[in-house]
Structure 1
């Protein structure tokens, strides 16, 4: 391999595991060490400490990969010295995820802001959200594009990030409380740059009548998430959402309507025909009549996710066939769905993405049919029993598959999945530790 040019070595190293890049390749010789620190090799790699890693081990990893661009501490609270090492070592850091209870001092926030100027994504812990001084520092992150806020029952001041963060495009604030005037100020300041917004679940003031119209200033908004019901304001909501002509994705949790007429106001006359992705969660009155309205009025839908929709039936699945561009489907918490309904998906030839979760009416017959969805690129399971899933047939039948995601699933055959990983090297696997623990494995088998 010594005859290979650096560009070839770089390509080879890009296929190596995270562990090899940290502990093995850099120690071969100086040339390998230099090539292994090229930024392109680290573009799609995230450092997630293992459960058994202590703070000293985490620091040693950080020091050996200075080109690291993404760090996920979301599953553990780390010591202050770890964050100091991160700031002083990883100048190329782009994405930082912290535990929701992580305490971070103003001094460390300033260090991150000064030494890691490329940070684009930051999730803000509860403790940081409620500190005016710390929010002022967050506002100084010049390249920050995406902020994800953790849950907080205290009112959060958005003004510092409204006045700062000049490149901010995404605010996910679904589980915090804000003052209505603060939200209006934030939206007016970011109206030209904001692309993604998840509205806070608690806003002071005359809730819907005041909140809904202020969205109309967001002329560049492409994705909107809402965490409350429309409370007898469907016409007002329809006018506002219909005016957002750049809106492509709508996610609604705890959706509640009082009649089919409310849905007609919202979706009728192709009011939201520009949507390409729609997600409902906890829509307890969802039924076939609602499906009919959506199918007729949102002809450009490419993605549809329906979670905990109690009246979701096999007939619903059959009606989705009329969405000619549909290639992404997510179904979770819908017990009325059966194997017959899943067979309807075979008629959606362009299906590329499938998420199944908590659908207790499905049997092994559905799993056997899965391999007939030959164009699948992404397959996700959440809170679903995977008993009798024919992993051994995937490599022959699902040749376009590129990602498998498993979260809190029972009856996982870890050995069969590891064998599949060897047969399909182009597929990335994401398997949470809970699913592996339930399968009898105490350490992560898919790092």
Structure 2
């Protein structure tokens, strides 16, 4: 059988395109060689098991029993029971990443989890229910924990202060909510976390005059990725004045804030010369047609994502041509953009990936006007239809359906 003669490198490449379920439950039973290759650690490092609510507990248990190399599990779409955790602990000792609803985690045998899953580095919690003892337990029983996200949960000031005081020497990633009134107490403890590289801060205040004291964070020079969900103009100004001197910052994501100072981009570019990835969600006063050209001050910017912006038009896209290093461009819910802007965008010679909404399936013919200018450009669509799919197949374009949860019902087209 020819398949038995294929080298491991070739099989690993082929298996990487298969689903986790196929790699765990089908491929190992083809032959002993395939079984051995399917257990390679390199193959499993990118797999994340995400059972949906429609999947039965028995199906989950069967998968876990056949996945000893599994490193990441996401139970955010499925209520995890104690019998599933028992199998997970028994059969997946190499687990490094666990996403679970907070209320479910509080009801589990946490001692068993922390004792058995000694490689666990990432914990992501969903939901809003609070049980104080579980947060305290995290800080005492997970010595290997480096990455923690609980941005959907609401903890008291005292809980967060106690937790951060114990975890400050091991956290590399932290995502949490903080009100402006509590920020004066909490943010100094965040600043003491010297190893943090990724920080996501959700500010709960909707009052534009209330100050979130970001000046408490200037010592976090290690941060390379920063996400801010902030609604206070004063907080943004403090961020620019006190915190934005971060020479190592590579990724910046901005959400919600309706008002930005006019010099925001120039100050950010001057103080963060290594910035490569920028995401602006909402923040409609920050990015408009005339301000898109100001992004040229980011000399190393390669990735730009603009979401939910009602002001950017086709005319403004021309200004993006000044940002010569862009390789990735994503427009989502930018309602004034039409496919007629493709002629301009396809002229961006370094651009490799373009993602956007298709509002009218009949408009896709406009793609053919400009795509010949950049044959290496890959299109990714949100909310594609069967009509769109058929059009690109007739044009001889390679179509790949997107399966990532953030791109559900999307597709990719390689010209």
Query: CA 1:111/1:23 → structure 2, altered by over 3 Å: closer, same or farther?
Result: closer
After TM superposition, give the deviation of residue 354 of structure 1 in Å. Answer: 1.6
The corresponding residue for 1:58 is none
Query: CA 1:137/1:345 → structure 2, altered by over 3 Å: closer, same or farther?
Result: farther
Structure 1 residue ranges without an equivalent (≥5)? 46-68, 440-447
CA contact (8 A) 2:221 2:247 kept: no
CA contact (8 A) 1:13 1:41 kept: no
CA contact (8 A) 1:410 1:435 kept: no
What's the TM-score once normalised by structure 1's chain length? 0.76
What's the TM-score once normalised by structure 2's chain length? 0.81
The corresponding residue for 1:160 is 137
Q: 2 CA distance for matches of 1:433 and 1:251? A: 18
Task: Kindly report which structure 2 residues correspond to 1:149-228, keeping only aligned pairs within 5 A, or say none.
Answer: 149-156=125-132, 157-200=134-177, 206-228=181-203
After TM superposition, give the deviation of residue 333 of structure 1 in Å. Answer: 0.8
1:320 correspondence with 2:295: yes
CA contact (8 A) 2:114 2:141 kept: yes
Q: 2 CA distance for matches of 1:91 and 1:421? A: 42
The corresponding residue for 1:265 is 238
> Could you report, residue by residue, the CA deviation over 1:170-191 in whole angstroms, capped at 9, with x for unpaired residues?
1111101223333223323322
Q: 2 CA distance for matches of 1:405 and 1:169? A: 33
The corresponding residue for 2:253 is 279
Query: CA 1:252/1:351 → structure 2, altered by over 3 Å: closer, same or farther?
Result: same
CA contact (8 A) 1:195 1:223 kept: yes
Q: 1 CA distance for matches of 2:160 and 2:392? A: 46
After TM superposition, give the deviation of residue 408 of structure 1 in Å. Answer: 4.3
Q: 2 CA distance for matches of 1:128 and 1:21? A: 28
> Could you report, residue by residue, the CA deviation over 1:353-392 in whole angstroms, capped at 9, with x for unpaired residues?
22211111112222233323333344433x6636434566
CA contact (8 A) 1:221 1:246 kept: yes
> Could you report, residue by residue, the CA deviation over 1:21-51 in whole angstroms, capped at 9, with x for unpaired residues?
6788666x63554355242673366xxxxxx
After TM superposition, give the deviation of residue 420 of structure 1 in Å. Answer: 8.4
The corresponding residue for 1:60 is none
- Tell me the SS of whatever aligns to 1:139: helix
1:82 to 44, 59, 82: 59
2:91 to 84, 101, 115: 115
2:331 to 356, 359, 383: 356
CA contact (8 A) 2:248 2:274 kept: yes
Query: CA 1:248/1:84 → structure 2, altered by over 3 Å: closer, same or farther?
Result: same
Query: Over aligned residues, Cα RMSD in angstroms?
Result: 3.7
2:274 to 297, 300, 303: 300
The corresponding residue for 2:50 is 72
CA contact (8 A) 2:231 2:257 kept: yes
The corresponding residue for 2:341 is 366
After TM superposition, give the deviation of residue 286 of structure 1 in Å. Answer: 2.8
Query: CA 1:413/1:334 → structure 2, altered by over 3 Å: closer, same or farther?
Result: same
CA contact (8 A) 1:150 1:176 kept: yes
1:385 to 359, 369, 392: 359
> Could you report, residue by residue, the CA deviation over 1:324-350 in whole angstroms, capped at 9, with x for unpaired residues?
011111101111111222222222222
Structure 2 residue ranges without an equivalent (≥5)? none
CA contact (8 A) 1:178 1:202 kept: no
Q: Matched residue pairs, number? A: 400
Q: Which moved more, 1:292-301 or 1:212-221?
A: 292-301
CA contact (8 A) 1:295 1:319 kept: no
The corresponding residue for 2:350 is 375
After TM superposition, give the deviation of residue 144 of structure 1 in Å. Answer: 1.4
